[in-house]
Amino acid sequence: MVEGGAEHLVTRLLAGGPEGDAAARELHDLLVRAALAHLVHQGYSLEAFGADDPEALAEDFAQEALATILRQLHTFRGQSRFTTWAYRIVINLISDEFRRRAWRRRPLPTEHEALPHPVDPADDPVAAAERDEVWGLIARVIREELTPRQRQVLVGRFFQDKPLVVLAEELNTSKDAVYKLLHDARKRLKRALLAHGFTEAEALAAFERR
């Protein structure tokens, strides 16, 4: 499964010494190219990162990714190409930094806790009544049954478009912990819908009819 060259790179990295140092330099160069390729394919502007030198920006991300990869090298099991395994780290670093900065650049903060009312008075009355019922239930569960942290991440995620990394920083926790809060909130909402006789498909259909 592992390609020849990259497999050799892992062996040399694990061996350490001068050969390991040379392998780390080769991996660093690969990571710089991966960072540049990711910037190209996502169409990210340098300004989005507060940078004006693309090579220096890619070097910085590659250096950070290399440190993470070397720390995690012992966990590589050869179930994928080594390059695929390594590139995910640099993509993750760049993507989260882009999201962090994009969130900070938003023109108006939307920190209100109020939930929207998604029913348009111009809607068909029957469809509007169904939407009202589904939304009324969801809004009540969000307000009354979720914990404050579950409510904060759910509202932030779905109604304020906050990235996980931003929510994690706000709550001084990890992205995995935020994901767990969201998961628990979704489970609670799902149970509430079912308890009130709505399947998920029926609840969704109410918002697809006009």
Considering the complex, state which of residue 16 and residue 210 has its C-beta at the smaller distance from other proteins. 210
Number of residues in the chain: 210
Residues between 73 and 102 with contacts to other proteins, criterion CB under 8 A = 75, 79-81, 83-85, 87-88, 91-92, 95-96, 99
Q: Which residue has tokens 């070097």? A: 59
Verify binding: residue 56, other proteins, rule CB under 8 A.
Answer: no
DSSP 99-125: HHHHHHT-SS-----PPP----TTS-H
Query: Closest Cα to residue 115, out of 134, 145, 139, 133?
Result: 139
CB of 190 to other proteins, least distance (A): 5
CB of 42 to other proteins, least distance (A): 7
d(CA 46, CA 91): 15
* Side-chain half-sphere CA neighbours of 167 within 13 A: 24
Q: Which residues contact other proteins by CB under 8 A?
A: 1, 29-30, 32-34, 36-43, 45-46, 54-55, 75, 79-81, 83-85, 87-88, 91-92, 95-96, 99, 116-118, 120, 131, 134-135, 138, 154, 158-159, 163-165, 175-176, 179-180, 183, 186-187, 189-190, 193, 200-201, 203-204, 207-208
